Amino acid sequence: MSDEGKAKLVMALRKAGVTDTAVLGAIEKLPRDVFVPAHFRHAAYDDVALPIGHGQTVSRPAVVGLMTEALCLTPRTKVLEIGTGSGYQTAVLAMLSRRVYTIERHRPLLAMAEQRFGQLKLFNITTRAGDGTLGWKAQAPFQCIIVTAAAADVPPVLADQLAEGGAMVVPIGSDYASQAIVKVVREGSGFTTKEMRAVPFVPLVPADTAREAV
Ligand code: SAH
Beta bridge partners of 17: none
pTM to 2 decimal places: 0.93
Whether residue 209 is contained in a domain is answered as: no
Whether residue 111 is contained in a domain is answered as: yes
Mutate which of 36, 63, 82 for ligand 1 pocket (most atoms within 8 A of beta carbon): 82
Compute, in angstroms, the gap from residue 42 CA to the centroid of ligand 1: 23
Which domain does 179 fall in, by range? Answer: 3-198
Whether residue 138 is contained in a domain is answered as: yes
Banded pLDDT at 175 (limits 50, 70, 90): confident
- Mean pLDDT in residue range 193-200: 82
- Mean pLDDT in residue range 157-171: 97
Whether residue 177 is contained in a domain is answered as: yes
Does ligand 1 lie within 6 Å of residue 60's CB atom? no
Whether residue 206 is contained in a domain is answered as: no
Compute, in angstroms, the gap from residue 83 CA to the centroid of ligand 1: 3
Q: Which stretch of 26-30, 38-42, 171-175, 176-180 has the lowest confidence by average pLDDT?
A: 176-180
- Residue identifier of the C-alpha nearest atom 10 of ligand 1: 83
Secondary structure (H, E, C), the chain: CCHHHHHHHHHHHHHCCCCCHHHHHHHHHCCHHHHCCHHHHHHCCCCCCEEEECCEEECCHHHHHHHHHHCCCCCCCEEEEECCCCCHHHHHHHHHCCEEEEEECCHHHHHHHHHHHHHCCCCCEEEEECCHHHCCHHHCCEEEEEECCEECCCCHHHHHCEEEEEEEEEEECCCHHHCEEEEEEEECCEEEEEEEEECCCCECCCHHHHHHHC
How far apart are alpha carbons 199 and 195 in whole angstroms?
11
Number of independent structural domains in the chain: 1
The answer to whether 97 is a known catalytic residue is no
Does ligand 1 lie within 6 Å of residue 127's CB atom? no
Whether residue 204 is contained in a domain is answered as: no
Compute, in angstroms, the gap from residue 34 CA to the centroid of ligand 1: 18
Domain of residue 180, CATH code? 3.40.50.150
pLDDT tens digits, 1-34: 567 888 999 999 999 999 999 999 999 999 999 9
- Residue identifier of the C-alpha nearest atom 13 of ligand 1: 85
Whether residue 148 is contained in a domain is answered as: yes
Whether residue 210 is contained in a domain is answered as: no
**pLDDT at residue 166, rounded to an integer:** 97
